[in-house]
Amino acid sequence: MHLIIYGPEGSGKGTQGKLLAEKLNLEVYTSGDLVREKAKQESTQEGKICRQALLTGQYVPDNVMFKLWQEKLESKDALKGFILDGFPRNIHQAEFLFSVISKVNYDVDKFIYIKLSDEESLKRLLKRNRQVFEGSGVSHDTEERVKKRLQVYHQMEVDLVDFFRKKGLLVEIGGEQSVDNVFEEIKAKLNIN
């Protein structure tokens, strides 16, 4: 099964992705993990770009993300199935995703969209208070940084959700409920026991 889990930061998509991965015996692929991994390679151009993005709270440019994702999506492990978390973020990335997977002969089964209000997202993220990268001492989750990231998220959200709705892959989930209830709703809508 090839799934995408999508929602604003703080929506619990990471937690739900892990729960689903355990239930379905799939790996979770996240843009964040790919970016953090690449940021450790300071000698490479992509590494520098990823590190800078983490420091400033900006998103990594599409051309760099595409390189990171193409490698991952074409891997043997990807053929077996996965859950994508944090990718695609926009129409351009969604089109790229479909162009890559069509070459390696698999498809996306469902796009799980966890809806959450900005107020709840902000509350959850301020509580989480992550560092931009290990040992940096700089908070990734200040009110100003979170609001900036939510603003960027919303600029792309409507078109992306509509893209997957038109493909008949959209599954909408209410993110304001408990972790267990969100998971139960996802399982019910995916017909997973």
> Residues forming the annotated binding site for AMP?
31, 36, 58-60, 86-89, 93, 130, 149
Residues annotated within a binding site for ATP:
10-15, 128, 177
Q: What is the 3-state secondary structure (H, E, C) of the chain?
A: CEEEEECCCCCCHHHHHHHHHHHHCCEEEEHHHHHHHHHCCCCCHHHHHHHHHHHHCCCCCHHHHHHHHHHHHCCHHHHHCEEEECCCCCHHHHHHHHHHHHHCCCCCCEEEEEECCHHHHHHHHHHHCCECCCCCCCECCCHHHHHHHHHHHHHHHHHHHHHHHHCCCEEEEECCCCHHHHHHHHHHHCCCC
Residues annotated within a binding site:
10-15, 31, 36, 58-60, 86-89, 93, 128, 130, 149, 177
